[in-house]
A and B are shown apart, each in its own frame.
Chain A
Amino acid sequence: MTYLWAFLIGGAICALAQLIMDLFKLPPAYVLVGLTVTGAILAGLGLYQPLLQFAGAGALIPVCGFGNAITTGILSEVKRLGWEGLFTGAFELTGLGVTSAVVFGFLAALVSGPRR
């Protein structure tokens, strides 16, 4: 069942992003930023965790999951450390993603180049 919801919810988020891009002729970066911020706000309202439980990878993989992960990290660190957590928490959960993107990006660029 999770598989179906992952597909449907993940697909729906992408379809919504596509519609906004097409309707307002926006470059993708605007929509990606919008989704990230939305994920962060939903995380603050405590709504993203239920979505993750429900849709699994369908909520984890889209970029709003990234906004959620940053915010969740900050919130748990704030709870633990107080105001210092505002500055230490952002990469608590996302560090692995950013690090792997940099490492894999570096390696891929070493062995491959742009083509058409």
Chain B
Amino acid sequence: MDPKEAAKQKEYRDLVKAMEPRPSFLRNMLLAFLVGGAICLLGQFVFDFFKGLERTEAEASAITLAAMIFLGAIATGLGVYDELGELGGAGAAVPITGFSNSIVSAAMEFKREGLILGMGCKMFTIAGPVLVYGILSGFLVGLVKGVLLGYFR
């Protein structure tokens, strides 16, 4: 490309970067904090409820996760979780309810292409990376730790 033209384009790109409306970092963080914190607080209530039913810590944790996933699915089905995401950003995406929302919203979106090739294929389009890299990193950590502690004989 002609260097003058390239310089002009570069200048334009820089100008776009400079003029871009910047999100309010503080406001977004605060909203993420409040929404995410509130979801975790709700999770704590659920946890204590199940703990009170004489469950072990591990059992109560597992049931709490399932319950939160259930709530996330309901909120998605009712069409409110995307609004929560618009407001809370990472506050809605990071909790397990967001994981649930990513699966349920994809399932809802793609069921029109059929239960097998639509919903079946695409349920994990958004949640997939978390599963893939969660498993890979867990595998790697297990491998390293297993070697270091001599579990593999």
Contacts and interface: CB of A to CB of B under 8 A. Distances in A.
A and B touch in the complex (CB under 8 A): yes
Interface of A: 2-3, 6-15, 17-19, 21-23, 28-29, 31-33, 35-37, 39-41, 43-44, 56-58, 60-63, 65-67, 70-71, 73-75, 78-79, 82-83, 85-86, 89-90, 93-94, 96-98, 100-102, 104-115
B143 to A, nearest CB: 6
A112 B107 CA distance: 10
A73 B138 contact: yes
A56 B44 contact: yes
Contacts of A102: 103, 123
Contacts of A111: 77
Interface of B: 23, 25, 28-48, 58, 61-66, 68-70, 73-74, 76-79, 88-91, 93-100, 103-109, 111, 119, 123, 126-127, 129-131, 133-135, 137-146, 151-153
B82 to A, nearest CB: 9
Contacts of B123: 102, 105-106
Contact of B95 (A44, A63, A106): A63
A93 B62 contact: yes
Contacts of B142: 44, 71, 74-75, 78, 85-86, 89
A11 B127 contact: no
A109 B108 contact: yes
A57 B89 CA distance: 19
A73 B141 CA distance: 11
B35 A14 contact: yes
A104 B68 CA distance: 11
A115 B108 CA distance: 10
Contact of A19 (B25, B38, B77, B88): B25
Given A86-B142, A101-B103, A108-B77, A32 B40 contact: no
A50 to B, nearest CB: 14
Nearest to B75: A108
B133 A65 contact: no
